[in-house]
């Protein structure tokens, strides 16, 4: 993808602060971090989002995430936890159209990435869930 900023990072056209790289993936520090050592992990091959990403890449992303987290925890004693995040589509906050996975260290309660939501309860007890979604996904009780 010629215009994709992450593809340009993969090709070396745009510099980054790499902390991990293998044949399939690259991880680098976010230029607008939510916390110290906020890391972006991407497949080197361009995929728009999670559902388009090949399964082999998805499994490698989780394995690499584990390595990155262990490395960060072993080298930065102040880390108390992590957020793992991937947004899909603009409505969910995806800003760059290349599948990516955020690894966000947590140092202090209330700082960095925080989860809060306006909860939509209109879906509760919805026939759609019972009649369509559970059957399509596969419910082993049926």
| Nearest alpha-carbon partner for 104 in 39, 41, 60 | 39
Where in the sequence is the domain holding 78, given as residue range(s)?
Answer: 5-137
128 domain residue, yes or no: yes
**Number of compact structural domains in the chain:** 1
Q: Is residue 52 part of a domain?
A: yes
Burial of 70 (0-12, 13-18, 19+ CB in 10 A): exposed
Q: pLDDT 10s per residue in the chain (142 long)?
A: 679 999 999 999 999 999 999 999 999 999 999 999 999 999 999 999 999 999 999 999 999 999 999 999 999 999 999 999 998 888 878 889 999 999 999 998 877 666 666 666 665 656 666 666 666 555 555 4
How much is the pTM?
0.80
CATH number for the domain that contains residue 110: 3.30.428.10
What's the rounded Cα separation, in Å, for the pair 18 and 10? 10
Question: Hey, is 70 helix, strand or coil?
Answer: helix
120 domain residue, yes or no: yes
List residues with catalytic annotation: 100
């Amino acid at each position: 993808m010629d215009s994709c900023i992450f593809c340009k990072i993969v090709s070396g056209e745009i510099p980054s602060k790499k902390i991990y790289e293998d044949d399939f993936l690259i991880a680098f520090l976010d230029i607008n971090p939510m916390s110290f050592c906020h890391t972006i992990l991407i497949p080197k091959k361009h995929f728009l989002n999670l559902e388009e990403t090949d399964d082999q890449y998805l499994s490698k992303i989780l394995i690499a995430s584990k390595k990155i987290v262990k490395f960060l925890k072993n080298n930065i004693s102040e880390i108390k936890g992590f957020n793992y995040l991937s947004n899909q589509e603009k409505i969910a906050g995806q800003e760059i159209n290349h599948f990516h996975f955020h690894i966000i260290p947590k140092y202090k309660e209330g700082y960095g990435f925080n989860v809060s939501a306006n909860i939509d309860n209109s879906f509760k007890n919805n026939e759609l869930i019972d009649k369509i979604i559970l059957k399509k996904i596969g419910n082993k009780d049926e």
